[in-house]
């Protein structure tokens, strides 16, 4: 039976079989996916599919042996795709790849470098960051060059690339409404005129210029390879992609090109790649290139300056365009692009509050994506996870818990089960069901290998809010939570500061009012932008508790915290005037507080909330901008980088 299936599959192109392999992986059939990819060890496409499986496996498990295996596999993938470089052509060896295969290899190499850089960053040490940054820069350069090469072929043979409705006539998500293209509140259509393809700035690869099909790209002439101070300007027909004047090559290359480029006198030849392949390659390279652009656009402004200096460019709009375009492809990158878009719309947008309190800004797009995906991946643990995220953002908590539990039941990855269980616990937090939240995070504390400190803290404040501190563990065990030493990450620093605000004497610890712990729960929901997912009754409970705590130091962990939380809840209920009053009161109370205190995040976030409201009104726009700019006076507070992304986004929106 296996032999028959192998014979049948061998008649299909490798890229189509690779798509089937990724489908097996996403449908919880990981071992079958590996077996399929291993049947064709000589195919770079199938080997890259195997490397993708190993990458996802390492990312989910984070076990050292799997990480090492994934790194080795990705390095081998990159090495396999380096055998068709320009040196082979200089030496006069006949190419064994046609031009389409060469481009495919370049995309595979860039993908492997992107995945390898991701795993290298996860080492979380200085050397890992530098090494990962260098690998990612290589990936960026390969994507950039390959994208522009394929784009030139696309324009020459098909026409201008239209992300809303390209020449393949395959509909995009939201092609009539402009969805999936921007993260602004208005969801405006993309203005494609603003997106200009950058010129290729590197020396062109001779391997691109000569293939067994006799193709010579428009932009390459003899002067592209041999520098001449008297070279003439290229004609309009040969300048589709402007190139910088190239450096001199060796005499070997000059002699090689002198006899080889006589065909240029006849003009550039049309590339011998069929229309379907050009479109497939265009979509394939758009996945990684778009994902890299989107990811870099989410970095804090301070980091963006460094990446720009190193040659990186993060463009959120362009990245989303490319991912939407790639998801309608036919190879294995299509479902990966869908997952990337779901990650952006259901996790990134609400987490970074790119749309303010409107956590449902990406729900319509995500719902369309998941509805299409569930036709093929109805039992997929990872797609069920994203379905739960959508339900949670819609405040349909019961449906969200059902989806997360289905993901737990279907997953063969321990980390996906932990992640879905985490979301279940978060749903209980949103519903203010402190007992269920306490039990869920106590379980996660025991099972997780990476977030035990965080789960211990949530378990602690949930038990305090539920007035059941003595039931979770002894006070001696609880004291261990207070000795967490920050490792430098924002989350570690947050936990260290929260543990310090908790009483460390047993008598005082158990004497704390449940309102004290509830405010810490509400603060957690606020900082993770989860208050907007609470229903109306829960928001009213939050406001009432904050009003009870106002002005009473016994109940309030940080000065002004109750005003910040109540103001945010009021704005979610669209009571903006009351919300503004609460934020101003918070700032007035904290006017004499240090700009670098352990609770300075209260002032910074209150300034943000107030400025965000004022800048939207033309009459108070200037005051709002000044209010947001005042936040730059505060340093080293909780989640400073996260807030800086929000500030950068809103200032850019209302510039």
What are the backbone dihedrals phi and psi of residue 200, each rounded to the nearest 5 degrees, phi first? -70, 125
Mean pLDDT estimate for the chain: 78
Per-residue pLDDT at 518: 96
Q: How confident is the model at residue 482 (pLDDT cuts 50, 70, 90)?
A: low
Q: 233-237, 425-429, 537-541: which has the minimum mean pLDDT?
A: 233-237
Per-residue confidence (pLDDT) for residue 218, from 0 to 100: 35
* 3-state secondary structure string across 590-617: CCCCCCCCCCHHHHHHHHHHHHHHHCCC
Give the mean model confidence (pLDDT) for residues 185-204.
Answer: 31
pLDDT category, 329, cuts 50, 70, 90?
very high
Residues sharing a CB contact under 8 Å with residue 140, sequence separation 6 or more, in sequence order: 292, 311, 312
Instruction: Kindly report whether the global pTM for this prediction surpasses the value 0.85.
Output: no
What's the per-residue H, E or C state across 116-166? HHHHHHCCCCHHHHHHHHHHHHHHHHHHHHHHHHHHHHHHHHCCCCCCCCC
Choose between 495 and 399: higher pLDDT.
399
Mean pLDDT value across residues 133-140: 85
Residue 621 pLDDT > 70: yes
Per-residue confidence band for 415, with pLDDT thresholds at 50, 70 and 90? confident
What's residue 298's pLDDT? 78
Q: Which of 197-211, 590-604, 623-637 has the lowest mean pLDDT?
A: 197-211
pLDDT band at 124 (very low <50, low <70, confident <90, very high): low
pLDDT higher than 80, residue 479: no
| pLDDT tens, residue by residue, 362-373 | 999 999 999 999
| Integer Cα distance of 328 and 396 in angstroms | 29
The span from the CA of 22 to the CA of 378, in Å, is 15
Please tell me the distance from the alpha carbon of residue 48 to that of residue 44, in angstroms, as a whole number: 6
- pLDDT at residue 173 above 50? no
Q: What would the mean pLDDT of 300-326 be, rounded to a whole number?
A: 76
pLDDT of residue 613: 95
pLDDT on residue 481: 59
Least confident of 73-77, 190-194, 287-291, 553-557: 190-194
* Residue 199, pLDDT score: 31
- Averaged pLDDT for residues 479-503: 71
**Residue 480: which pLDDT band, with cuts at 50, 70 and 90?**
low
Q: Which tokens hold the place of 626?
A: 């000044």
d(CA 268, CA 237): 9
With contact defined as beta carbons under 8 Å apart, do 18 and 331 qualify?
yes
pLDDT at 645: 83
- Bridge-partner residues for 243, per DSSP? 200
Query: Residue 628 pLDDT more than 60?
Result: yes
Mean pLDDT along residues 116-145:
79
DSSP helix/strand/coil, 571: helix
Q: Give the highest mean pLDDT range of 245-249, 496-500, 504-508.
A: 496-500
Q: What is the pLDDT of residue 172?
A: 35
- How confident is the model at residue 476, as a pLDDT? 62
pLDDT at 268: 40
Tell me the average pLDDT across 225-253. Answer: 34
How far is C-alpha 427 from the chain's CA centre?
23
pLDDT, residue 515, reads 94
Q: How many residues does the chain have?
A: 655
What pLDDT is attached to residue 244?
A: 36
Indicate if the pLDDT at residue 537 is higher than 60: yes
Q: How far apart are CA 528 and CA 525, in angstroms?
A: 5
Asked if residue 459 has pLDDT above 70, the reply is: yes
Instruction: Report the pLDDT value the prediction gives residue 340, as an integer from 0 to 100.
Output: 94
Q: What is the pLDDT of residues 26-48, one digit of tens each?
A: 999 999 999 999 999 899 999 99
10 pLDDT band (50/70/90 cuts)?
Answer: low
Buried b (16+ CB within 10 A) or exposed e, 141-159: bbbbbbbbbbbbbbeeeee
pLDDT tens track for 540-567: 999 999 999 986 777 889 999 999 999 9
Structure tokens at 340: 């990337």
| CA–CA gap between residue 543 and residue 547 (Å, rounded) | 6
> Over 90: is that where the pLDDT of 414 sits?
no
**pLDDT tens per residue, range 254-296:** 333 333 333 333 334 446 789 999 999 999 999 999 999 898 8
Q: Which two tokens stand for residue 68?
A: 């090492």
pLDDT band at residue 60, thresholds of 50, 70 and 90? Answer: confident
Q: Which residue has the higher pLDDT, 249 or 429?
A: 429
**pLDDT value of residue 187:** 34
Per-residue confidence at 169, pLDDT binned at 50, 70, 90?
A: very low
- Angle 642-133-305 (CA atoms, 0-180°, nearest 5)? 50
63 pLDDT band, cuts 50/70/90, is confident
What is the mean pLDDT of the segment spanning 335-340? Answer: 95
- pLDDT for 483: 53
Query: Of 118-122, 284-288, 343-347, 600-604, which range is least confident?
Result: 118-122
pLDDT tops 60 at residue 91? no
**Average confidence (pLDDT) over 164-192:** 34
Percent of residues, the chain, with pLDDT higher than 70? 73
């Amino acid at each position: 039976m296996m032999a028959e299936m192998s014979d049948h599959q061998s008649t299909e192109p490798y890229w189509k079989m690779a798509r089937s392999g990724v489908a097996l992986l996403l449908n919880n059939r990981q071992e079958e996916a590996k077996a399929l990819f291993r049947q064709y060890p000589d195919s770079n496409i199938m080997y890259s599919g195997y490397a993708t499986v190993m990458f996802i496996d390492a990312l989910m498990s984070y076990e050292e042996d799997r990480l090492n295996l994934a790194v080795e596999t990705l390095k081998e993938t990159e090495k396999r795709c380096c055998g068709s470089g320009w040196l082979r052509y200089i030496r006069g060896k006949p190419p064994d790849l046609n031009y389409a295969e060469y481009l495919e290899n370049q995309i595979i190499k860039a993908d492997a470098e992107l995945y390898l850089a991701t795993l290298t960053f996860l080492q979380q040490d200085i050397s890992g960051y530098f090494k990962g940054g260098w690998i990612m820069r290589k990936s960026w350069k390969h994507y950039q060059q390959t994208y522009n090469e394929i784009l030139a072929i696309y324009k020459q043979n098909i026409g201008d690339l239209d992300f809303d409705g390209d020449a393949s006539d395959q509909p995009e998500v939201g092609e009539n409404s402009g969805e999936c293209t921007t993260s602004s509140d208005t969801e405006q259509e993309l203005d494609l005129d603003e997106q200009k393809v950058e010129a290729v700035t590197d020396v062109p690869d001779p391997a691109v210029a000569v293939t067994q099909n006799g193709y010579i790209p428009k932009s390459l002439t003899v002067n592209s390879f041999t520098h001449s101070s008297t070279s003439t300007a290229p004609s309009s027909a040969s300048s589709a992609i402007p190139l910088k004047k190239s450096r001199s090559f060796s005499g070997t290359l000059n002699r090689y090109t002198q006899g080889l480029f006589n065909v240029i006198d006849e003009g550039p030849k049309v590339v011998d790649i069929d229309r379907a392949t050009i479109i497939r390659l265009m979509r394939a390279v758009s996945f990684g290139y778009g994902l890299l652009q989107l990811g870099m656009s989410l970095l804090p402004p301070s980091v963006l300056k460094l990446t720009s200096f190193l040659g990186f460019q993060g463009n959120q709009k362009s990245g989303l365009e490319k991912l939407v375009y790639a998801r309608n492809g036919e190879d294995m990158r299509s479902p990966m692009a869908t997952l990337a878009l779901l990650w952006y719309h259901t996790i990134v947008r609400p987490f970074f509050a790119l749309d303010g309190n409107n956590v449902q800004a990406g729900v319509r797009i995500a719902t369309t994506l998941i509805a299409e995906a569930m036709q093929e991946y109805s039992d997929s643990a990872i797609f069920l996870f994203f379905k739960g995220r959508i339900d949670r953002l819609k405040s349909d908590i019961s449906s969200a818990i059902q989806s997360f539990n289905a993901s737990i039941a279907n997953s063969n990855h321990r980390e996906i089960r932990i992640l879905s269980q985490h979301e279940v616990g978060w749903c209980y937090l949103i519903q203010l069901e402190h007992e269920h939240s306490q039990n869920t995070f106590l379980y996660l504390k025991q099972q997780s290998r990476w977030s035990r400190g965080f789960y211990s803290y949530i378990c602690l404040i949930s038990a305090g809010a539920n007035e059941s501190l003595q039931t979770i563990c002894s006070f001696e065990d609880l004291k261990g939570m207070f000795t967490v030493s920050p490792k430098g990450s924002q989350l570690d620093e947050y936990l260290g500061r929260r543990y310090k605000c908790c009483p460390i004497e047993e008598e005082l610890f158990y004497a704390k009012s449940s309102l004290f712990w509830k405010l810490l729960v509400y603060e957690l929901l606020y900082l993770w932008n989860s208050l907007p997912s609470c229903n109306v009754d829960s928001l009213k409970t939050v406001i009432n508790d904050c009003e009870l705590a106002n002005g009473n130091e016994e109940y309030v962990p940080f000065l002004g915290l109750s005003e910040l939380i109540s103001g945010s809840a009021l704005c979610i209920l669209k009571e903006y005037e009351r919300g503004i009053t609460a934020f101003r009161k918070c700032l007035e109370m904290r006017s004499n507080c240090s700009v670098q205190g352990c609770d300075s995040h209260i002032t910074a976030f209150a300034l943000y909330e107030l400025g965000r409201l004022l800048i939207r009104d033309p009459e108070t726009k200037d005051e709002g901008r000044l209010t947001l700019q005042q936040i730059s006076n505060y340093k080293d507070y909780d989640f400073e980088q996260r807030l800086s992304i929000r500030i950068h986004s809103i200032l850019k929106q209302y510039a």
